[in-house]
Chain A
């Protein structure tokens, strides 16, 4: 079980990576919402993949045709993490 310390460190790591790679909080939140939608309805996976590609977050073949639950879980967690960081003031809206 991760500790609060680990969570804080991870958030810091995410913030730094966002700055380094130019990824916005809005992108993470939007991606997280889409990932959650797919987890609740697997039939939406093709639309999810296409939306990710259309948003220039991936290219063809980068996301497997088979549902990758780990990827969806990471995206959903990143989205939630971004929401929490905005709410706490750690990230600008």
Chain B
């Protein structure tokens, strides 16, 4: 277990030198930090390196941003880190130099920049000003292959100068005093060309010094710029590359257009079908409904009437036995005939008794007639009562059967009506059915009739600046003196 005070002292002792060699001791660390800071791709190396550059304040309690701002390379680091945000190329990348040169008198700004923040200010205010076609990195650059005489070197320098002239107004002012404005182009080019191949071209002691080249101009504004460039050629290269990348991004296309189309025959068929659909929709009439048929209507009416008519004599009457009267009359006739036969017998008996016409015969005849009448009444009543009861029962039984019959008739009528309705619908929907056939042939999915899409290309100036910075860092590493 370590004591925190001792450990803090340990870190304070070693932080700065350890950070200086971090890229060699642990190469994956730089992109790891860059990635953690939100950079992607090649930019992770530049951002990671910038974040580590202020390590002198590590574990001192300062925030990351404070460290970046206060560190020796604060201008450069803040510029690159701020470049991650898509708004701050001018205020970020040039904040160490361009901004200072804008606000302060040019001479003072350049001097101050050379002392305080080194190459960054020197770069924006002096070495990379408008017309800086002479910024070929080496004289006769045998090791680099980038010389003033190289094809395109002049164009690269001119392009950088032109773009830089528009980035910050302060650059032009500082550049004018630095001696690297347009009039210096020719001199710079020739000076670089005359430099010895072994000279890095970034030192005041190089061959360029005597010819008024870039480094010679830089040297006028303090040794800090050159010392830093010698000590940190990779970072210096990153800054140069970042500026170049930004210039390239400014001229990059900002959008792309993609056009897709379908087979013209399919498209024509689809459009024709679409027209047919429109016509069918326009001509589609109101749906027609079949009127109830005669069968249904009659059955419905009768059922209604039946339901509204209470059970009564009429229902019974229709079930009376039409032969009931004959039966009754037959029975009564039998009784009458019996009475008459009895009366004949009574008369014969009275005659035999020599009492015919007497009172006794009169009494016997009266009794016979009375019995016959009574029998006739009883028999007729019984017969008629039975007929009524039977008719009533039949009438009650017939009513539900009548209802069922009427309902059956209504069902049959409804079926006929449905057929009529189907005929009407078929006539109305014939166009829709035809469209369904042609539409199905064209597929379930709507045809792609072609489209044009425009997508923005996010080739940000910042991203290109970071990418360019990485390339510059590589060039800077080549400039690095080999260890003895």
Interface residues of chain A, those whose CB is within 8 Å of chain B, are 1-7, 9-10, 13-14, 17-18, 20-24, 27, 36, 38-40, 42, 53, 55-59, 61-64, 66-74, 76-78, 80-81, 84
A64 and B63 within 8 A (CB) = yes
With both chains docked as a complex, state the minimum distance between the C-beta of B302 and any C-beta of chain A, in angstroms.
86
The B1-57 residues at the A interface (CB cut-off 8 A) are 1-4, 6-11, 13-15, 17-26, 29, 32-33, 35-37, 48, 51-52, 54-55, 57
- Out of B13, B26, B61, B63, name the residue touching A77 (CB < 8 Å): B26
B25 and A71 within 8 A (CB) = no
Chain A residues with Cβ below 8 Å from B57 are 70
Tell me which of B388-396, B423-431, B437-445, B476-484 binds A. Answer: B476-484
Q: Is B365 located at the chain interface by the 8 A CB criterion?
A: no
- Out of A38, A77, A84, name the residue touching B19 (CB < 8 Å): A77
Of the listed residues B55, B57, B477, B480, the one surrounded by the most CB atoms of chain A closer than 10 A to its CB is B55
Chain B residues with Cβ below 8 Å from A1 are 23-24, 232-234, 476-477, 480
Known: A1-B480, A62-B61, A70-B52. A22 touches B2 (CB 8 A): yes
B25 and A72 within 8 A (CB) = no
- Annotate B72-84 by CB proximity to A: 1 below 8 A, 0 otherwise: 0000000000000
B61 and A61 within 8 A (CB) = yes
Q: Beyond A4-B24, A77-B25, list 14 extra A-B contacts (CB 8 Å).
A: A1-B480, A10-B17, A10-B20, A17-B14, A23-B6, A39-B29, A53-B4, A56-B7, A63-B59, A69-B36, A69-B51, A71-B59, A74-B55, A80-B26
B67 and A68 within 8 A (CB) = yes
- Annotate B464-484 by CB proximity to A: 1 below 8 A, 0 otherwise: 000000000000110010011
A73 and B51 within 8 A (CB) = yes
Q: Which residue of chain A lies nearest to B56 when distances are taken between CB atoms in the complex?
A: A70
The distance in angstroms between the C-alpha atoms of A42 and B35, with both chains bound, is 11
A42 and B36 within 8 A (CB) = yes
The distance in angstroms between the C-alpha atoms of A6 and B484, with both chains bound, is 11
Known: A10-B21, A57-B2, A62-B8. A73 touches B484 (CB 8 A): no
B18 and A74 within 8 A (CB) = yes
Chain B residues with Cβ below 8 Å from A20 are 10
With both chains docked as a complex, state the minimum distance between the C-beta of B68 and any C-beta of chain A, in angstroms.
8
- Out of A7, A39, A53, name the residue touching B33 (CB < 8 Å): A39
With both chains docked as a complex, state the minimum distance between the C-beta of A67 and any C-beta of chain B, in angstroms.
7
A76 and B21 within 8 A (CB) = no
Chain A residues with Cβ below 8 Å from B10 are 17-18, 20-21, 23
Q: Which residue of chain A lies nearest to B232 when distances are taken between CB atoms in the complex?
A: A1
A5 and B483 within 8 A (CB) = yes
Q: Which residue of chain B lies nearest to A77 when distances are taken between CB atoms in the complex?
A: B22
- Out of B3, B26, B51, name the residue touching A22 (CB < 8 Å): B3
Chain B residues with Cβ below 8 Å from A39 are 29, 32-33, 35-36
The B224-256 residues at the A interface (CB cut-off 8 A) are 232-234
A58 and B7 within 8 A (CB) = yes
Known: A21-B7, A62-B4, A62-B8. A69 touches B21 (CB 8 A): no
Chain B residues with Cβ below 8 Å from A58 are 4, 7-8, 59
The distance in angstroms between the C-alpha atoms of A7 and B26, with both chains bound, is 11
The distance in angstroms between the C-alpha atoms of A1 and B455, with both chains bound, is 41
A74 and B21 within 8 A (CB) = no
Q: Is B378 located at the chain interface by the 8 A CB criterion?
A: no
- Out of A7, A66, A76, name the residue touching B63 (CB < 8 Å): A66
B58 and A74 within 8 A (CB) = yes
B13 and A5 within 8 A (CB) = no
Q: Is B408 located at the chain interface by the 8 A CB criterion?
A: no
Chain A residues with Cβ below 8 Å from B233 are 1
B19 and A70 within 8 A (CB) = yes
Q: Is B62 located at the chain interface by the 8 A CB criterion?
A: yes
A56 and B2 within 8 A (CB) = yes
Q: Is B64 located at the chain interface by the 8 A CB criterion?
A: yes
- Out of A18, A66, A80, name the residue touching B64 (CB < 8 Å): A66
B14 and A13 within 8 A (CB) = yes
The distance in angstroms between the C-alpha atoms of A62 and B8, with both chains bound, is 9
With both chains docked as a complex, state the minimum distance between the C-beta of A54 and any C-beta of chain B, in angstroms.
10
Known: A1-B233, A77-B29, A78-B14. A68 touches B6 (CB 8 A): no
Known: A5-B484, A39-B32, A58-B4. A68 touches B64 (CB 8 A): yes
Known: A6-B21, A77-B18. A23 touches B64 (CB 8 A): no
- Contacts A/B (CB < 8 Å), 18 sampled: A2-B20, A10-B20, A17-B10, A17-B13, A27-B7, A57-B4, A58-B8, A59-B4, A61-B61, A66-B64, A67-B36, A68-B64, A70-B54, A72-B36, A73-B51, A74-B59, A80-B29, A84-B25
The distance in angstroms between the C-alpha atoms of A62 and B11, with both chains bound, is 12
Known: A17-B13, A73-B55. A56 touches B483 (CB 8 A): no
With both chains docked as a complex, state the minimum distance between the C-beta of A71 and any C-beta of chain B, in angstroms.
4
The distance in angstroms between the C-alpha atoms of A48 and B52, with both chains bound, is 19
State the 7 A-B residue pairs at the shortest beta-carbon distance, nearest first. Answer: A3-B483, A21-B10, A80-B26, A21-B6, A77-B22, A1-B480, A2-B21
Known: A21-B6, A74-B11. A13 touches B17 (CB 8 A): yes
The distance in angstroms between the C-alpha atoms of A7 and B380, with both chains bound, is 146
Q: Which residue of chain B lies nearest to A65 when distances are taken between CB atoms in the complex?
A: B63
